[in-house]
Structures are given as structure tokens and as C-alpha cells.
Amino acid sequence: MGIFDKIKEKFKKKEKPQAGDSKEVKEKDLALESTKEEAVFDTETIKKDMKNMGVEIRLEGLTKEFVEKKTNRITVAVDNFDVTIPAGKLVGLLGPSGCGKSTTLYMISGLHQPTAGRIYFGDDDVTNLPPEKRGIGLVFQNYSLYPHMTVKQNIMFPLENMKVPKEEAEKRAQYMAELVQIGDLMNRKPNQLSGGQQQRVAIARALVKMPRVLLLDEPLSNLDARLRMQMREEIRRIQRETGITTIFVTHDQEEAMSISDEIVVMKDGVLHQKDKPQHVYNEPVDEFVAKFLGNPPINIIEGKIEDGKLIVNGKVLEKVKLEDQPIHLGIRAEFFQVDPKGRLEAEIEFLEHIGRDTMVIASIEDASKTFKALVSAQTIKDLEVGHKIRFNYSSYFVFNAETGERLI
């Protein structure tokens, strides 16, 4: 039984009066059937409305500048940003602190007015609409629950502002509470809830308005590691159940990659790459994206291209069709294999045993820093710190040393 079916059952009457021949009993039977049909209709209507909530979001040339009053200094937070968020998808806005991802979210919500550019929800230009006219649900990282209100009152609060009739508001609040699995906590106050439960209340409150877009601004940053993992799975489930277009802002690449249909990688207010998470990981467009995604981070080894050869520490590793230039060789830890005849020779600096695998931290003579290789523990069981080791690699990237542009 799916979540919608379970919720629907909660709206049904559980007991029927005894059937009889009298007019009074028949009228009661008819009234009961009518009530049941109305309840089922209500939940089916909500379900249908939720399934229609997904809308394509299109940002065209979106720019946001902040001007410091005393010095008139201009800071460009978002710079000529073009991106399309598919309808009904969960998309992660990902990047380091200060990259412009939250500013972008606030422009989509209407809390910030763009300096330039347009924002479209489907065919509707919402650039100049106030937040309450856009049909958005917004969840902040600090939840922003009213401490003096119960869970039920918190969820219903937006509906009161919208002048939704009380009976309908209560049904919608209960429905959303069941959807986020806090239906039995409706009479509690926020200080009686865990962090994860408070976050569910905030999500239910955002969804109860039946928004076209759900915006999540680093919603898991205040939770401990275990709760973060649990809640990101819940966010993914809720998004799939509702089909609402969702934008999830985070600086945590693991969070973004684990639940997003697509990720948008930003730096300094500029779009670097947008695609499915695994594709961005496997095919980064530049060194910044390659370094930002992955744990441990990708190894960057200094080298050069000379006469069609890729050279590191004076040794030729590959033949390439590139012009002579300084380069950065990028190899992820899991790309390495221990091989006595391998192309890359190094010295073991440290061994970190992690179950069946071992993280080898090694250095190349005259290279600027160490690198990490994740290999099977069996392949290095006779090696120790200070020993020489050789590696081959299954894949690699080559980046221009100055621009970070990916060359291979």
C-alpha cells in the first residue's frame, strides 16, 4: 500500500451502523456513504492537485548585484545565470560558501529582486511578482517554526493567511502531516520535537499551500550526521510522492549527489555544469568541478605536455594530442591499481586501513604534494611506510594549469 493509500484510509469511517428496514436507518446509511465518498474525494483531490504541482523553472540571464552604501562598491553575487529546472524534478544547487546558490534561491522565491534577467515558472513570467503570488513553498535551515503553536497550528498557519475554510485546512494539514510521517504529533509544540521532526513540520507547512515549487535552503545543516542521512532520504521520498519541482541548496556534495535528479554546480555566481550527478562526477567540465565532487577529493598532480607527451616528474605517462603547456593531471583515488610495472612510481607516506580496502597516501619525488590511492588491502599486504610502490590507473583527466579548462 502506497503512502497516498495509507493516508486515504485515515479519512475513511471505520464503523458502519447496522443495516435495517426503517427509513431512519436507510437515511443514516446514505449519509454515511455520502460522507465516505466526500472524504475519499477530498484526499483524491489533494493527491491530484499535488501531482500537478510540478512546473518547469527557467532562469534567463539572472544577475544579482549588491551595492555597499558607504563605498558604492558593487558585489556580483549571481552573474548572467542561465538554467532550466525540469518540471517535477529534484535539482541540487551545489557550490562552496559564497558561490551565489542561496541568492539564486531567494530570487526564485521573490525574497530578492534580480538586478537583471527573468524568472519563469512554466510560461508565467514571475520576475516581478511578490513571494505570496508565485506559488512557492520555502524551507529554511533553521525551520522557523512558531514556538507557541502546536504542530497542527504551524502547518495550518499559511492556510489561515490564505483564508482557507477551517475544515478544508484541517484536512490538508492532516494529509501533509501523514505524508511527512508526523501525523501522531499534531498536538505537540516545537520544543517537544527532535530536529528531524521539526524539519518535517517545516516541509509539511511548505507543502500544505499546494505550491508549484518547493525551495529548500540548506535544510539539513543543523542536524547530526545520522539524522541528515535519514532526512535526505525522506526529502527524496516526499518529492517523488508529490511530483513537485524541488530546488535543494547545499554545499555538501554527498547530499546533492545522493538525492538529486540533476545537480547545478556554481562558483562565484557563475554556472559551471548542470547534469545528472554521476555524469558530472565522471565527466567534469573543468578542474573546479572535478575537485569539488568526490570524497576523497580528486588527486591533482602537476605535469606538462611536451612534444605530444604527458610528463610527470620527468617520466612520460601518456602520448597525447595537445600543444606544449603546463597541465594538472587529475586522477581519482579509486582509479588507481597497484602494479609492479605501473607507470607512476611513488613512496608510501601513510597507510589507512578501512576494511577490505586501504587508502595509500604516497608522494612522487619532486612533486608538489602527496596523492591518495584507494586499493584492495590484499594488493599491498607486504608493503609498509617508506616502501616504493608503482601504480597504473584506469582513467584520468588533464586540465590546463592556468585556466582549469579540461583538455582530456
259 with 382, same domain: the answer is no
327 with 360, same domain: the answer is yes
Confidence class of residue 366 from pLDDT cuts 50, 70 and 90?
low
Each residue's pLDDT tens digit, 271-280: 999 999 999 9
Q: Is the pLDDT of residue 123 over 70?
A: yes
Each residue's pLDDT tens digit, 49-78: 665 668 999 999 999 999 999 999 999 999
Q: Is the pLDDT of residue 131 over 70?
A: yes
Each residue's pLDDT tens digit, 251-270: 999 999 999 999 999 999 99
Q: What is the mean pLDDT of residues 349-373?
A: 88
317 with 356, same domain: the answer is yes
Identify whether 314 is part of a domain. Answer: yes
Identify whether 175 is part of a domain. Answer: no
Q: Which DSSP string corresponds to 314-364?
A: TEEEEE----SEEEEEEE-GGGEEE-TT-SEEEEEEEEEEETTEEEEEEE-
Domain stop point among 268, 287, 306? 287
H or E segment to which residue 389 belongs? strand 388-393
278 with 302, same domain: the answer is no
Domain count, the chain: 2
Q: Is 290 helix (H, G, I), strand (E, B) or coil?
A: helix
Each residue's pLDDT tens digit, 297-347: 999 999 999 999 999 988 999 999 999 999 999 999 999 999 999 999 999
pTM confidence score:
0.85
Q: What is the mean pLDDT of residues 172-189?
A: 94
Which strands make up the sheet holding 370-376, listed edge to edge? 336-338, 388-393, 344-354, 357-363, 370-376
Rounded percentage of the chain residues whose pLDDT exceeds 90: 77
Confidence class of residue 37 from pLDDT cuts 50, 70 and 90?
very low
Cell of 248: 535543494
Q: Are 144 and 221 in contact (CB under 8 A)?
A: no
- Alpha-carbon gap, residue 108 to 127, rounded angstroms: 8
The full 3-state SS of 213-257, as one line of letters, equals: EEEEECCCCCCCHHHHHHHHHHHHHHHHHHCCEEEEEECCHHHHH
Q: What is the mean pLDDT of residues 115-119?
A: 98
Phi-psi sector, 3: left (phi>0), alpha (psi -120 to 50), beta: alpha
364 with 386, same domain: the answer is yes
Q: What is the mean pLDDT of residues 144-171?
A: 94
217 with 129, same domain: the answer is yes
The predicted structure's pLDDT at residue 217? 94
Cell of 320: 597525447
Q: Which residues form the domain of 333?
A: 298-400
- CA-closest candidate to residue 189, choices 149, 242, 225, 229: 149
Look over the chain and give the mean of its residue pLDDT values, rounded to a whole number: 88
Q: Are 401 and 325 in contact (CB under 8 A)?
A: yes
Q: For the domain that residue 118 is a member of, what is the CATH number? A: 3.40.50.300
Rounded percentage of the chain residues whose pLDDT exceeds 70: 86
Identity at 80, one-letter amino acid code: N
Identify whether 35 is part of a domain. Answer: no
Identify whether 13 is part of a domain. Answer: no
Confidence class of residue 367 from pLDDT cuts 50, 70 and 90?
low
Q: What is the mean pLDDT of residues 27-51?
A: 52
Identify whether 236 is part of a domain. Answer: yes
231 with 312, same domain: the answer is no
305 with 251, same domain: the answer is no
Identify whether 125 is part of a domain. Answer: yes
Identify whether 386 is part of a domain. Answer: yes
- Asked if the peptide bond before residue 130 counts as cis, ω within 30 degrees of 0, the response is no
- CA-closest candidate to residue 109, choices 90, 89, 129, 124: 129
305 with 260, same domain: the answer is no
Q: For the domain that residue 363 is a member of, what is the CATH number? A: 2.40.50.140
Identify whether 321 is part of a domain. Answer: yes
